[in-house]
Structure formats: structure tokens, C-alpha cells
Amino acid sequence: MNSRERVRAVLNHELPDRVPNGLGGCETEGLHIVAYDKLQKILGVEAQPPRLDTFMTNAVFEEPVIRAMDGDIILLASPRMCASELRGDAAGQWKEQELWGHTFRVAARERFRNNDDGTVTWETAGNAICPAGAYFFDHKGNTDLMADFGVPDPDAFHPNDTFSDSFLRNLETAAKRLYEETDLSLCLGETITDLQIAPGGMIGSMVLMMEEPDVMRALLDKCADAALKQIRLLDQAVGKYVDILSIAHDFGDNRGVTIGEHLWRNIYKDAYRKLFRGWQEITDMKVNLHSCGSIDTILPDLIECGVQVVNPVQVSAKNMGPASLKERFGNDVVFWGGAYDVQLIRDSMTYDEVYRAVSENIRILGAGGNYIFSGVHNLPATMPEHHLKAMIDAYRDTRDYR
């Protein structure tokens, strides 16, 4: 099988020749750009300054790296995540930038400032600050989490429901080239309007769910309608090339569903049922949902709604152990991730310890199919080089079905 055939087999709940490798295949299954630099060294590819994709400072995985690590999925552009295109004729849309003592490439319009105190300011991201000695930016939000806010009027709410023709045509050109010139499976990133609206910030939106649930449901319903209109446009442009389309909504924390599964069902379930079922009527691009934390109590609901792929599979969270997940849901959904969880694998662990842990997770999650290999979310800059090597080696040695 080639990569595209392998991934499509898994997405259709068929057993391919081996576990597909999806590292770097979506915005939430990759590496920090510093860790990606280490990966280039491990793989022995000609090192290029990594390109920065998304506010999480993860790297764009390039074709030579994907090939060298036996990868199977390549990520297409998401205008919500990156100001420059990832594929196609995008060379002039990137510039070099010094960050953390390394040379990277960033979208041409982005502006960073390296400060005398060791901090870094991301000026075009609302002056987000990366503290001295750190590798992630603190993005400013609503600092007064209990601020008063007016109840929003659903009739006055008009979420984005379209794309520019230039974006669609450029996306089509890039997807067509990758489809015709490679055998990689294509994943389109987090592009559509999602259901992560939070009027009044995180706390305010929780208050709204409790005090004005009809208002919150009406807002979500309009988001679902907007997303479905966008999916129609995307399907017309790239549906014949792309296998997976991503969407994100972090429902869980380490303990469980943050708002509780009962409130989640009351507020969100109908909107997700409408979105995912409509999605599958419009396009063959599979639903790839990113949700962190412990979400096992609502996975049956999400599967009922129509979710097809779930990432990042945070195996360290409550009731999210790989054996339990595989036993309960392994026939109904494709798991993408779960192999290396930074909450369980400490930097002090040896190559052999990491190798054993990753191999075990792959064996469990990959048994019988319905699994795409990767880490748990975007792995950090501080990930030791020998951990990266152990993870890649463990995949290569454990990917064959037994």
C-alpha cells in the first residue's frame, strides 16, 4: 500500500498493511519548531529553517521530513492558523526570523521583537509575550474572568460562512499538486467556523449556558450552519483530493469534561449532531475532532453525532488509558495520537524507557486497526533528542500488525 491507500483504509475501518504515521499531519499532532529542528537532525535530512505554523509555535512538516520518517499525512493550509500558505507557490510569503537562538521562518506579515530581558514579543499576535527561558507565548485574553457582559442577541450574530475565491483557488492548486505528485494523504487544517464561541470569555459563557441555555444553543446552531456552508465550498475546491478535515474544541481537562457531560449534552450535542451529520452528507472528507483531556464520558455522544477521527488521545487523563479506550471505542472511531504523552513520559527517562512506553501504546491502540500514530498534541521544544529518536524507532518497530 502507498500512504494514501493506507490512511484511507484506516479511515474506512479496514486493516491496512501497517499503522499509518500521522506525525505533523494536523495542527495538533506535531512538534514545536525547536523540536522539529532536532527531528531533522535525527532523520539526517538536509536541515532547513523550520516554518512556524499556528499560535502554538509548532512546525510545518515538509515533504522531505515526512518521507524520511515514513510519514503518511501532509497538512494543507489553514488561514485561521497561519497568515501564509503552507503549500503551493508560497516561497515569497515567508521570511527568516531569529527566535530562541535559532533561525526559523515565519509568515511574512508577522513581527517579533527579541527583548533585552530575554523575553520575546509577538507584536502581530496582540503583543503576546514569551517569558525568558520559555518557548511558548502567553496570548492575552480577558483578564477579568468575572466581567459583566450583555446577553448576546442570536439575531445579530453572523459568524463567517464563506471564503475568498482567491483562497479557494490557491488551496485547490496546492491540493491538486500534492495529490498528483505525491502518494501522501491530505489533511486540511482547522479552516471552518467552529463551535468554540465563548461570549463573555470562558466564565461568562459558562454562566450563559446555565442562565440562558436557549441563547447559547441558538448561537451554536448558527455556527453549525455557517460551517456547513463553508464545507460545501471546500468540498467543491478540494473534496476530491483531501481525505481529512479538522476541527477543534477542547471539552476536557485531566479530570473529565470541564463543564460536565450533562451540561455538554444539553448545550452542545444537538449542534454537533447537525454539524457532523450535515458534514458527511456534503463531503467524503472525514471529521477529525481535536479535543484535549478526559472526554470518555461524551465519546459515545460524539460518535453518535458522527465524529470519525479523534485526536490527540490524551492517555494521561482520567479514564483515557489506551487499553480502556480501545476496548470501549476502538471499533467505532479512529484514534490519532496517544503514543507519547508528556504528562507520563518525563524528560529524565532513558531511550529504552521511552521506547517501551511508546511501543506499548502503539500495540494497544493499533490492534485491529482504526489507529494513526502520533504523539499527544504538539510535543514541546524541550523534548530530549533521544526521546524523539526512541519515539520514531518504536513506531518503525511496532507498526506492523501481528
Query: pLDDT tens for residues 207-258?
Result: 999 999 999 999 999 999 999 999 999 999 999 999 999 999 999 999 999 9
Question: Is-contact 57 137, C-beta < 8 A?
Answer: yes
CB-based contact 57:6 (threshold 8 Å): no
Q: If you average pLDDT over residues 34-38, what whole number do you get?
A: 96
Query: Which amino acid belongs to residue 102?
Result: H
Domains contained in the chain, CATH given: 3-91+159-398 (3.20.20.210)
What is the structure's pLDDT at 402? 72
pLDDT reading at 144 higher than 70: no
Centre a 10 Å sphere on the Cβ of residue 309 and count the other Cβ atoms it contains. Answer: 25
Q: What is the mean pLDDT of residues 294-319?
A: 98
Task: Give yes or no for residue 145 having a pLDDT over 70.
Answer: no
Segment 10-24 mean pLDDT: 98
Mean pLDDT to the nearest integer, 368-396: 98
**Mean pLDDT for the chain?**
95
pLDDT of residue 58: 96
Predicted confidence at residue 147, as pLDDT, reads: 54
Report pLDDT for 288. Answer: 98
235/241 Cα distance (integer angstroms): 9
The answer to whether residues 66 and 3 touch, using CB atoms and an 8 Å cutoff, is no
Question: How high is the pLDDT of residue 208?
Answer: 94
Examine the pLDDT at 198 and tell me if it is beyond 60: yes
Nearest of 176, 162, 26, 22 to residue 89 by alpha carbon: 176
pLDDT the model gives residue 80: 86
For residues 173-197, average pLDDT:
97
Looking at residue 202, its pLDDT comes to: 87
In order, the DSSP letters of 9-59 are HHHTT---SB--B-TTSSTTSSBBHHHHHHHHHHHT----PPBEETTTTEE
Tell me if residue 331 falls in helix, strand or coil: coil
pLDDT at res. 201:
87
pLDDT score of 20 more than 90 = yes
pLDDT tens per residue, range 54-105? 999 999 999 999 999 999 999 997 888 999 999 988 878 999 999 999 999 9
pLDDT digits (tens, 9 = 90+) for 365-378: 999 999 999 999 99
Number of H helices, E strands in the chain: 12, 14
pLDDT in tens, 313-338: 999 999 999 999 999 999 999 999 99
